[in-house]
Structure 1
């Protein structure tokens, strides 16, 4: 029975070829719009993920501030200072912590025989490489042996390499940091950099060696990575550091916390909102095509009124008529949907990447928007298409099924 109904639907479509073609084109355009809008929304979300992923999303930094709330008998306005003991405290008492690295930084002259610049130099431990997802382009990062022996070695950023050495092989070369000789042992791969941001000019040296440049008694900050819930880790951090330094855990000014996952979660909400909006716009566009399909099917019902009357007179039941017209609508929808999905894939290949973050940042092509059509997008678009096809075809089909056979036979 279903085969016969399908063949009848195909025959009716061939009989009204021009009208059917226009309707199919409308459905194809509608579903292509849905798929491309969803792909754009997904690409927007992936772009933000790529921006944060270059640092590592499960990363937290804490920085000393000044108390703004009274705690115990102490007044507000007391400066908080972090020490090396705090690194051990965090590692041992905060659940979920994987690696911890103290950090000291200072703007100092960095020079070789040809060039002199004033750049940031950071004193860190080997763990920072894992914490900040640092990718080595040449050489290696700071090692435990460098820490123990207080080696005068440096890992430099990609821009620092270019400015200091141009095309010269940098490994093994000597640079002077604040007048002290250091050997270049590694070069980092470039990170996305906005404007005059110095991220690719920073030089990293062993934390103990930083004592030759700056007093290491008090830390400028502590970076760590973790597993588990980011908010639970932050609460535990505030509780432990507050108890150790005599400030309230609720005092945001006493200790500044850079919780990367919290920031990413906010962007994810924005991304989901954008995808919902784009889906709504796409469904409206497809709905317009569905209205066109409904109108065409209503015209078809009117033109075939006598045919319907003959079928009913010969014993056709309501469900047979219903399925016949609904099948025709679904075949038009299916053909248009397949064509629209293929069109969307073709457009995504032709368009490629859409400039987004690279418009304001260098080395940021990975954070541009790419129209990558995932299976989930195809499933969502197909589901919407089927619903639109059923709704658009059902109303004319019900009208055809409910025609009175006697009145239908009289219809001119």
Structure 2
């Protein structure tokens, strides 16, 4: 039975081949639009994740500020100063913290024999490389021995290397930081850099050696990596610091926190909203193709009115006529859908990388948008296609099934 009905559908499509092909092309274009829009939304989300992942999403920073709420007999406006004891206190009292490392920074003159610049110099511990996902391009990073011995060594960013040394090998060379000689022992791999951001030209020296430049008793900040819920850990860090510095954990200005996961979550909300919007636009586009299918099927019903009358006169039931025309619509939808999926895949392959973050960030190619197809996108697109095909085919099929056989036989 089903074989006969689908056979009739194929025969009807062959009889009006030009009309059928135009309808199939319309459906293919519609579903290809849906797939590509969803693939773009998926690629946008991956691009945002790539921007944040260069620092590691499990990254949390704490920076001292000034109290804005009274605590006990203390007035508001007390300046908070971190100490190295805070780092140990966080490691001991906050579950989930993997590394906690202090950092100092200051803008100072950096020069060699040919060039002089004013750049940020950071006093760091070896753990900072793991916490902030720094990768070594050449040489090595600062070691515990460097910190213990107050070694005058430095690991410089790739932009700093280019500006100071150009194409010359920088390893082993000497630069002067705030007038003090340091030997270059490592060069970092580049990170994505927006505009005049200094991320790739920071000069890193051992934390202890930073005492030649500024007081190292009070760190400018503490960077941490962790495992677990970012919100709970951020609250625990704030609570731990509040205990040692006597401020309310709710006082947001006493300690500022940089929670990468929180920022990523905000962008993920934007990404989800974009994907919903793109899905809606794609569904509307496919709906237009569905209207075309409906019109073609209504014309087909009108042209085959007498044929429907003969079928009913020979005993065809209403549901048989309905299924006959509905199956024809679904065959057209299915062929168009497969063609559209193939078209979308070809476009995604040949489109390659679409400029996005690299337009504003140096080295941002990894965060450009790629049209990423996924099983979820195929499933969602197929569901939309089936719904559109059923709705578009049901109206003409119902009309055909409800024809009066006597009136249909008389139709000219």
Q: TM-score, normalised by structure 1?
A: 0.97
Q: Distance in 1 between matches of 2:259 and 2:110?
A: 31
Q: Distance in 2 between matches of 1:126 and 1:219?
A: 15
What is the Cα deviation at residue 101 of structure 1? Answer: 0.8
Q: Distance in 1 between matches of 2:68 and 2:352?
A: 51
Q: Residue in 1 aligned with 2:228?
A: 228
Q: Distance in 2 between matches of 1:136 and 1:342?
A: 42
What is the Cα deviation at residue 213 of structure 1? Answer: 1.7
1:3-402 aligned at under 5 Å gives the runs 3-402=3-402
Q: Residue in 1 aligned with 2:405?
A: 405
Aligned length in residues: 412
What is the Cα deviation at residue 401 of structure 1? Answer: 1.8
What is the Cα deviation at residue 13 of structure 1? Answer: 0.5
What is the Cα deviation at residue 347 of structure 1? Answer: 2.0
Q: Distance in 2 between matches of 1:3 and 1:130?
A: 64
What is the Cα deviation at residue 45 of structure 1? Answer: 1.3
Q: Deviations over 1:270-306 (max 9, x none)?
A: 1100110111011011011111111111111111111
Partner SS, residue 199 of structure 1:
coil
The CA RMSD measured in Å over matched residues stands at 1.2
Between 394-403 and 234-243, report the one with greater CA deviation: 394-403
Q: Distance in 2 between matches of 1:212 and 1:202?
A: 17
What is the Cα deviation at residue 40 of structure 1? Answer: 1.3
Q: Distance in 2 between matches of 1:135 and 1:397?
A: 64
Unpaired segments of 5 or more residues in structure 1?
Answer: none
What is the Cα deviation at residue 318 of structure 1? Answer: 2.2
Q: Deviations over 1:213-268 (max 9, x none)?
A: 21111110000011111110111111111111011111111101111111111110
Q: Deviations over 1:50-77 (max 9, x none)?
A: 1111111111111000101101110001
Q: Distance in 1 between matches of 2:410 and 2:397?
A: 20
Q: Deviations over 1:114-165 (max 9, x none)?
A: 2221111111111111111112111221122222222222111010111111
Q: Distance in 2 between matches of 1:282 and 1:128?
A: 45
Q: Deviations over 1:166-186 (max 9, x none)?
A: 111122222221222222121
Partner SS, residue 121 of structure 1:
strand
Q: Distance in 2 between matches of 1:182 and 1:75?
A: 44
Between 164-173 and 257-266, report the one with greater CA deviation: 164-173
What is the Cα deviation at residue 349 of structure 1? Answer: 2.6
Q: Distance in 1 between matches of 2:94 and 2:75?
A: 27
Q: Deviations over 1:341-382 (max 9, x none)?
A: 121122223322222222221111111211122222122111
Between 51-60 and 352-361, report the one with greater CA deviation: 352-361
Q: Distance in 1 between matches of 2:128 and 2:79?
A: 26
Q: Distance in 2 between matches of 1:43 and 1:356?
A: 10
Unpaired segments of 5 or more residues in structure 2?
Answer: none
Q: TM-score, normalised by structure 2?
A: 0.97
Q: Distance in 2 between matches of 1:152 and 1:383?
A: 64
